[in-house]
A and B are shown apart, each in its own frame.
Chain A
Amino acid sequence: MRWTGRIRFLFLAPAVLWVLAFTIFPLGYSLYLAFFKVEQKVEIKRVQQPVLDEQGRPVLEDGQPKMRNVVLRENVTTATFIGLDNFRRLLADPQVRDAVRVTLVFLLLAVPSELLLGFLLALLFNRQIMGRGVLRAVMILPIFATPLAVGYVFFTIFYEVGGPLAWTGIPWLSNPTWALVSVALVDIWQWTPFCFLVILAALQGVPDDLYEAARIDGASNWDLLTKVLVPLLTPTFVIVLLIRLAEALKLFDIPFAMTGGGPGTATQPYSMLAFRTGLRFFDLGYASAMAYGLLAVVMVVITVFFRRMRESYG
C-alpha cells in the first residue's frame, strides 16, 4: 500500500516537472526581473584543445595532434533591486496608454461581433438547410489557419493599389482608424467560426421538448429566441466570451504580420508593445512588469466572469 502510494507520485512527476519548468519558473523569474535591474556580461577565453577520436585519443595530423578552437564563456550577472520602479513607469508611459486603448477598441470591435455572428450562424445551421454538413466544415476552416499566415494573406487582400478590395477606395491599411478596423475584421473572420461551433453544439443540446412546450404555450419565434434559447445558452455565451476575451487581450500575430503595429502605433496592441520592449530593446524588467499588468487585467476579467456565473447558475 505504501509502495503504491509512492509510485503514484512518480507517475505525477513528469506533469509536475513540466508545470514547474514551463509555467512556474518563467512566472517567478519574470517577477524577479520586474523588481530587479539585471545586467549580464559574458567573459570570453579562447583556447585550443586537441581533437579526439571515438576512443578518446588525440587525432594526429602530420604527426602532430590536430587542434580545434574552443571558446570558453563565463556569465557574470549582477542584479540591483529597483522596487516598484518598473510598475511606476508602466502607469506613466504614454506608449502603454496608447497600447491599452488600441487593445480595448479592438476588443470592443471584435469580440461582440464574433459572438453575435457566431450565434446567428449557429441558429442558421441548427435547422435543416441544403449542404449543411459541407458548409459547416467550410465554415470552421479559418480556425485552423495560423494567425501569422492569416495576417500576411489579409495584407495582400487589403492592399490598396491593385488588391482585391482596392475598388472600395477604403484606405484599409494606410489610415489609422481603418487599419484597426481591418485587424478587427480579420480577427472576426478567424474566430467567428469558433463561437459558431461552440454555440451550435449548445443549441443542438437543447431538447426538442422545450421548443414544443413553448410552442404549445403560444410562444412566437422571437419569444422562443429571447425567452428560451438565450437564457439557456447564457452559460455557453459566458464561456465563449471568456475564452475570446482572454485570447483577444493577447492579440499579436495578426497586426504583427499585417500592419507591423502601424500606421504609427494605431494597431499596436499591448502584447506587441511588451514583445518589442522585451525582445527588441531588451528592457526585460519593464517588459516583465508589462506582462504582469496584462496578467492582472486578465485575472480580474476571469474572476468577475466566474463570480457572475456562480451567482447566476450556482
Chain B
Amino acid sequence: MRTRTMLLLGSAALALLAGTVRAGQYVDWNADGTATLKLGPEYDNARITVPQSMLGSAFGPGKQPFKGVTISVTVNGAGPKGGISGPLYSFRPIWEEISGGKVNIVELPFAEHYTKMMLDLRNGTGQYDAFMVGAFWYGDIVPAGYGYQIDELMKSGKYPQWSYDVMPPSLKTLHQWEGKSYGVLNDADGQVLYYRKSALENPEHRAAFKAQFGYDLPSPPATWQQLLDVSKYFNGKNWDKNDADPDSGTVLHLKVGEQGHYHFQSLSASFVINPGDKVTRTQNVYWFDPADMKPLINSPGHVKALEFLQELHKTGPAAQVGWSLGEAWDYFLRGKAVFVFSWGDVGALCQDKARSKIQGDCAAAMLPSSDEYWDFAKQSWVKLGKPRQVGNTTGGSWHGVISNYSANPEATYSFLSLMAIPPVSKLMAMYGWDGVDPGFSYQFLKEDGGTASLDEYVKAGWDPNDAKTYTRAYKDLFYAPTTLTYLRIPGTFEYWDILDKNLSAAMSGAKSAKQALDDTAAAWQGVTNRIGRDKQLADYRAAIGYKE
C-alpha cells in the first residue's frame, strides 16, 4: 500500500515536472492551464495547444461529461482523408477521449446526402444527431423546424469556444436564419481565380499575346473578356513543359449533378448584379424579382454570361462536360491549364506535392469582372469604365447543423465546436485534403487585416507567394462591396438542380444559352407555384434582406 502510494506520488511529481497533469492518448491536460490536442499523421502529427478554458467548462482533466452517449453525424462521403469528412475522423478520438462519448460518422454519397437527411427529418426518425450541410439546404431545414438553435449552447461557456465574429458578414449570414444561430463554423466557400503566374509573366508569351490581341497580357486578368483572350491564347500550346502534350486555357468541371452550376453563378454575378447600398427590386438581386418571385435567371445578363461560359469552355478539354470537380482540379494541378476558378481547396492542394506539380506557381486572385452588366431598371447594358469585381460565397460552406430530433444536442454541439475553435480551424484551412477552406479573420494574414502570419503557412508547407495571393484573394472575395446573393429558400436544391441540368445541356451543345435559361425560368415558376408563391416570396425577401 505504501509502495503504491509512493509510486502514485512519484508519477504525479513527474507529471508536474513535465508540465502535464493528465496525459491521454489524444489530449494532454497541462499544468499551466493549457491542453494539447494530439493529431494523427494526416495532419503531420500536429500538436495544438490551447487554453483549457477554450475547450469549455464542461471538459477538463478527469471529466467526461458525455460518458455513455453516442452521436451520429452525416457527411458527404469522402473517407477518412477526404474533404469535409476527413476532419471528423481526425477529431473523433480527441472528442471521445475528453467527453467519454462515441461518434458515428455516417458517410453518404454527395448525391444522396440531402435525400437521406430530408427523409430522416421529414419522417421524424431522428436517426442522426447532426448533418454536415451545405448552406443552400437551410431553406428546407430551418423554416420547417428541423434545425436545433445553438445560441444558448454558444453562450453557456460549457463547450469549445468559437464565435461568429471572426466571419465576414457574407459568411455569417449563411450560418443563421432570421438572426438565430444554427450552423457551427467549419468551412468557408467562395470561388476565386487560380492562375499560372509564370506563364502569364513569361516575356515570350507576353510579346506574342500583345502582337495577337493588341494589349499587354494582364496578370491576372481584370475582366472576364481579358481572361477569355488569355485563355484562347494559351489553349492548344504546350506552354507547360511537364509533358509533351498541348495544354489548355481554362479548365471547368461541368458534369451534371457535380456542382458545375457554381461556375455559372460565380461568373455571371458581375454580368447581372446591379450595385447599390441596399437590396432593392433591381439592385443586388440575382435569382428572382423580389416583388413577385418572377425568375431573373433568363435576363439578358444571365444569357450573355452563359454564352460567355460556352466560349470559355472551348478553351479547355471537351471532355470536361463530363468532369466532376476532382478531375478538373487534377488537370490544373498537373499543370495542364492556365486558369481554373474554384474553391479554396485548389490553393491548398497546389501545395500538396503528391498531387500538384505547380507549387510556387499557383497564384490566386478575386474573380474578374465583366466589362458590362445588364441594368434591370433601365433594361439596357451598362459599360463599365473600370472593372467592378463581385464577391461570392458560392458553394456549400459545409458545416454542422444539429437535428432538432437529436436527444443529445449538447454532446453533438461540443463535438462540432471542437473543430470550430480558432487554432483548429486555422490549421484545417492550411491543409488541402480536408476540404476546409479559409474565410475567417485568423486565417487571413496580418497585412490584410487578419491575425495569421505568413510563417504559419510556410511551416504548414506553403509556398510564401502562393499563400500571400491565396489569403488576399479570399479576404477580397468575402469583403467585396458587392456580393452575389445566396439562394437558401425552400426548394433551393430543386431550383439549382433544374439550373444545373439546363446549364449542362447548354454546355454540351444540346440547347442554346437562351433556350436553357428560358427553360430554367419556366421550370422555376412551376416549383414556386407548387411550394406556394407567397410563402416563397416571404422567405426569399427574408433571405436577401429585401424590404418593400
Identify the closest chain B residue to A268 (Cβ).
B501
B279 vs chain A, min Cβ distance (A)? 27
Q: Which of A54-80 contact B (CB under 8 A)?
A: 68-71, 73, 75
Q: Given the known A-B contacts A260-B258, A261-B257, are A71 and B508 also in contact in the complex, defined by CB atoms under 8 Å?
A: no
Asked if B508 contacts A279 (CB within 8 A), the reply is no
Chain B binder among A112-120, A167-175, A217-225, A290-298: A167-175
A301 vs chain B, min Cβ distance (A)? 28
Asked if B318 contacts A264 (CB within 8 A), the reply is no
Chain B binder among A137-145, A205-213, A243-251, A280-288: A280-288
In the assembled complex, A44 has its CB within 8 A of some CB on chain B: yes
Asked if A70 contacts B407 (CB within 8 A), the reply is yes
A280 in complex: contacting residue of B319, B493, B508, CB < 8 Å: B493
Asked if B493 contacts A264 (CB within 8 A), the reply is no
Residues of A within 8 A of B158 (CB): none
B79 vs chain A, min Cβ distance (A)? 16
B133 vs chain A, min Cβ distance (A)? 15
Asked if B523 contacts A259 (CB within 8 A), the reply is no
In the assembled complex, B15 has its CB within 8 A of some CB on chain A: no
Asked if B407 contacts A95 (CB within 8 A), the reply is no
Asked if B405 contacts A73 (CB within 8 A), the reply is yes
Contact with A along B451-478 (1 / 0, CB 8 A): 0000000000000000000000000000
Asked if B122 contacts A266 (CB within 8 A), the reply is no
A264 in complex: contacting residue of B115, B408, B505, CB < 8 Å: B505
In the assembled complex, B81 has its CB within 8 A of some CB on chain A: no
Asked if A42 contacts B124 (CB within 8 A), the reply is yes
A268, B498: Cα distance in complex, Å: 13
In the assembled complex, A253 has its CB within 8 A of some CB on chain B: no
Contact with A along B477-496 (1 / 0, CB 8 A): 00000000000000101100
Asked if B319 contacts A173 (CB within 8 A), the reply is yes
Residues of B within 8 A of A268 (CB): 501
Identify the closest chain A residue to B410 (Cβ).
A69
Identify the closest chain A residue to B507 (Cβ).
A263
A280, B137: Cα distance in complex, Å: 12
Q: Given the known A-B contacts A73-B124, A283-B530, are A263 and B321 also in contact in the complex, defined by CB atoms under 8 Å?
A: yes
Asked if B494 contacts A262 (CB within 8 A), the reply is no
In the assembled complex, A265 has its CB within 8 A of some CB on chain B: yes
Residues of A within 8 A of B256 (CB): 259-264
Asked if B504 contacts A262 (CB within 8 A), the reply is yes
Asked if B322 contacts A262 (CB within 8 A), the reply is yes
Asked if A174 contacts B318 (CB within 8 A), the reply is yes
Identify the closest chain B residue to A279 (Cβ).
B115
Q: Which of B509-548 contact A (CB under 8 A)?
A: 509-511, 519, 522-523, 530
A70, B406: Cα distance in complex, Å: 9
A197, B493: Cα distance in complex, Å: 44
Residues of A within 8 A of B519 (CB): 94
Identify the closest chain B residue to A95 (Cβ).
B523
A160, B504: Cα distance in complex, Å: 17
In the assembled complex, A23 has its CB within 8 A of some CB on chain B: no
Max count, chain B CB within 10 A of own CB: residue among A44, A262, A266, A279: A262
B72 vs chain A, min Cβ distance (A)? 14
In the assembled complex, B12 has its CB within 8 A of some CB on chain A: no
In the assembled complex, A40 has its CB within 8 A of some CB on chain B: yes
Residues of A within 8 A of B508 (CB): 174-176, 262-264, 266
Can you list 21 pairs linking A and B with CB atoms under 8 Å apart? Answer: A40-B123, A71-B407, A73-B126, A73-B405, A94-B522, A161-B331, A171-B318, A171-B321, A174-B321, A175-B509, A260-B255, A260-B256, A261-B501, A262-B322, A262-B508, A263-B256, A263-B504, A264-B504, A264-B508, A280-B115, A280-B494
B residues at A contact (CB < 8 Å): 111, 114-115, 118-119, 122-124, 126, 144-145, 254-258, 317-322, 331, 404-409, 491, 493-494, 497, 501-502, 504-511, 519, 522-523, 530
A residues at B contact (CB < 8 Å): 40-42, 44, 68-71, 73, 75, 94-95, 159-161, 171, 173-176, 179, 259-266, 268, 276, 279-283
Q: Which 8 A-B pairs have the closest CB atoms?
A: A264-B505, A262-B256, A263-B508, A160-B319, A42-B124, A174-B321, A173-B322, A260-B257
